[in-house]
A and B are shown apart, each in its own frame.
Chain A
């Protein structure tokens, strides 16, 4: 069974800092890996999707990398803003299912 772990569980940074969120998975036979954002009391919004054949994806200030061989992915957020405060979830796809990590709760303080 795929196990997805996210470190750290919570993170607080001052506005303007660059930061890295980590995701690891136990089974490298994944189809793709996605990063989601979840605001309190809301659903999930897909941020970036990396296919298993890709190494990274970028969208604005966000950059996600994937290293299948080591079972790791990172989400890099540049020049963080208070509006980035949310929970960030990574999920691996194997077959039909998304296997989620428990998330990293990010707080960006002004």
Chain B
């Protein structure tokens, strides 16, 4: 039981490049979330999903897209990366009232 895993762990992009962050969970959870964590800002919700095939916007969705084609995977896409998207990205899945977090992806946009 691996819990919540995130791929990749680190990535450096140039402005304008695109990439996809993968979150996978093997706990059969319905709810999944993407957060970003910035110094002095705490964690902020980007997008979330309440089940396979569904997605919804969180607090800071601009510049990101998501997909939940399979229940166990939640993908976060950056179509045209900007330096303001330099951050640590965390994925979480939820059962009951408890969210389980992945180890994070550290993204730097130059």
Contacts of B97 in A (CB 8 A): 31-32, 34, 49, 51, 93
Q: B33-50 CB contact bits vs A (8 Å, 1 = yes)?
A: 100000011111100101
State whether the Cβ of B84 lies closer than 8 Å to any Cβ in chain A.
no
Interface residues of A in 75-110 (CB under 8 A from B): 89, 91, 93, 96-98, 100-103
State whether the Cβ of A43 lies closer than 8 Å to any Cβ in chain B.
yes
| B96, closest chain A residue (CB) | A49
Contacts of A45 in B (CB 8 A): 101
Contacts of B50 in A (CB 8 A): 96
State whether the Cβ of B62 lies closer than 8 Å to any Cβ in chain A.
no
Contact B103 A100 (CB under 8 A): no
Main secondary structure of the interface of B (DSSP, over half): strand
Chain A interface: which size bin? 20 to 34
Q: List 16 A-B contacts (CB under 8 A).
A: A4-B42, A31-B97, A32-B97, A34-B98, A41-B104, A42-B104, A43-B104, A46-B99, A49-B97, A89-B43, A96-B50, A96-B56, A97-B48, A100-B43, A100-B44, A103-B42
Contact of B102 among A43, A51, A89, A91 (CB under 8 A): A43
